[in-house]
Chains A and B, each alone.
Chain A
Amino acid sequence: MIKFQEVTKIFPTNSPNGYPTTALDNISFEIKPKEFVSIVGRSGAGKTTLLRLLMAEEKPTRGQVFIDGLDIHKIKPGKLPAVRRRIGAVFQDYKLLPSKTAYENVAYVMEVIGADDLEIARDVPEVIEIVGLTERTNNFPVELSGGEKQRLSIARALIHRPEVILADEPTGNLDPYNTSDIIRLLLKIHELGTTVVLSTHNKEIINKLGKRVITLENGKIIRDEEEGRFIL
């Protein structure tokens, strides 16, 4: 379903020392539909760059990224939104809209993709219930705890029924209790048939999951194992 083919990403001027930084170095791997894949590595290993390439937020310096055989960096800019609608993204810093309530934050995504009011009224409460935030429907993000915010951002990523969920260190800001909550939620989503790509540097989570693990170091894949463990 997802395929990275000899992908290299070099940031020419963004590095503080003025030299080009190689974030990803000739990476190739494939993710099958309905797979749960964890991407692990130290900070700066290239995890976030990898996910950003998958969202077409960045262009690779060399190589190609395919989703269902479609090179997402070769398609016309006008077609990009359609590709992004197949992906749901969850971030470490939640990226919720502070001026909108929990309900509105989720409903907003449906408005963006052009859903009608009936669909919104039907789907939003359902998804909010899945992530266990029914009581918080009318609260603003600032009134939610870190765990609740992250559950809300998962609800937002789920609402348009994407084929893939990309979670970029979703538990980075959370305590262990909330962390296992979020992981349970991601596993539940995966069981319902969604491909999940999780990037994390939480050793405990990875060792408990028993799913495929891709380990990155200095922009290179050093390990790719089914039922992998966190080894750095």
Chain B
Amino acid sequence: MTMTILLATSLFLFKDISQILISAIREKADISVYFKTAAQEEDILNIQGELSKIPEVKDVEYVSKEKALEDFIQRHKDNQVLMGSLEEVGGNPFLAALNVRAFEASQYQAVVNFLDATLEPVYQNLIEKVDYYQRKPVIERIFALTSGAGKVGISLSIVLAIVAILVAFNTIRLAILNQAEEIKIQRLVGASNWFIRGPFLVQGAISGIISTLISLLIFALICWFLGPKIEFLFSGLNVWKFFTGNFFTIILIQLSTGILLGAISSSIAIRKYLKV
């Protein structure tokens, strides 16, 4: 049961962590539309206007040929080899581009569809290439990873919940069989159903509460130990701060999971073995 509660809490934590990761990746993930050298700035700005109208698009940034060259020099001014090659090529080899950013990783397809189909042919001819296709696998993998991890977490907690219910169920079953004689006597002297069943339900709930306390302790220790290490890996993500900040939510999640599991398993055992 402790395992299940731990996993349920981890799912809660995972949701938050993946949110941070996804937003970080999203900041970086965009698609760039490069235009042919012949394309006029006026046309490109028109296309920018068109793209901004798509509901999925967050913003569109125009990078002119000159700006691209400037950025490149700025970034690589210390790299002799690259600077040398740039001189070798001569002039400005960069293309004007529009950097399109969508709200979600899955929405880039809509942008590509717009460029391929909806955009007027005159404008389509100005486009040299769209680098979405190079980035597509990366974007899709990130997307699959985050939703996949969530799915694995949920199915694992369902499996563990079933295991926890079975274990608690067996404990209560043994308790019922152990007290068979006493239960029989209770029945004969006219004990009400809830007088007989109540203690077993409470027993299930108490085992849930004990599991909660154990898993709370384990979870706190894990967060405390791993907090600095995870913060080192992903800046801005401190699990210990997250734990203390969401302490009551976590306790609530753990307690409700624990008590629910305990109560469910004991009520199944009572139904099966306690014929009143």
Contact = CB atoms under 8 A, between A and B. Distances in A.
Interface of A: 55, 57, 77-78, 80-87, 89, 95, 97, 108-109, 112-114, 156, 160
B184 A112 contact: no
A77 B190 CA distance: 12
Given A77-B276, A97-B181, A97-B182, A160 B189 contact: yes
Contacts of A55: 188
22 contacts: A57-B188, A77-B276, A78-B193, A80-B276, A82-B190, A84-B188, A84-B189, A85-B190, A87-B190, A89-B188, A95-B188, A97-B181, A97-B182, A108-B189, A109-B189, A112-B186, A112-B191, A112-B195, A113-B189, A113-B190, A156-B189, A160-B190
Contacts of A78: 192-193
Q: Binding site of B, secondary structure by majority: helix, strand, loop or mixed?
A: helix
Contacts of A156: 189
Nearest to A157: B189
Contacts of A95: 181, 184-185, 188
Interface of B: 181-182, 184-193, 195, 276
Closest 7 CB pairs of A and B: A85-B190, A84-B190, A112-B191, A81-B190, A109-B189, A81-B192, A112-B189
Q: Which of A81, A82, A108, A160 has the most CB of B within 10 A?
A: A81
B164 to A, nearest CB: 30
Contacts of A109: 189
Contact of A81 (B181, B182, B184, B191): B191
B188 A81 contact: no
Given A81-B190, A112-B190, 8 more contacts: A78-B192, A81-B193, A84-B188, A85-B189, A95-B184, A112-B195, A160-B189, A160-B190
A84 B276 contact: no
A114 B194 CA distance: 12
A82 B195 CA distance: 13
A75 to B, nearest CB: 13
A101 to B, nearest CB: 15
A78 B189 CA distance: 14
A57 B187 CA distance: 9
Given A77-B276, A78-B193, A112-B195, A84 B181 contact: no
Contacts of B182: 97
Nearest to B186: A112
A77 B182 CA distance: 19
A69 B202 CA distance: 38
Contacts of A108: 189
A114 B181 CA distance: 20
A97 B193 contact: no
A160 B181 CA distance: 20
Nearest to A55: B188
Contacts of A113: 189-191
Contacts of A89: 188-189
A86 B182 CA distance: 20
B153 to A, nearest CB: 42
A112 to B, nearest CB: 4
A160 B192 CA distance: 15
A86 B189 CA distance: 9
B186 to A, nearest CB: 6
Nearest to A56: B187
A95 B193 CA distance: 20
A85 to B, nearest CB: 4
A109 B195 CA distance: 12
A77 B181 CA distance: 20
B198 to A, nearest CB: 12
Nearest to B185: A95
Contacts of B185: 95, 97
B114 to A, nearest CB: 67
A97 B189 CA distance: 13
A81 B183 CA distance: 13
A112 B182 CA distance: 11
B187 A84 contact: yes
Nearest to B189: A109
Contacts of B276: 77, 80
A13 B276 CA distance: 22
Contacts of A86: 190
Q: Which of B184, B188, B193 has the most CB of A within 10 A?
A: B188
A95 B185 CA distance: 7
Nearest to B188: A89
B179 to A, nearest CB: 10
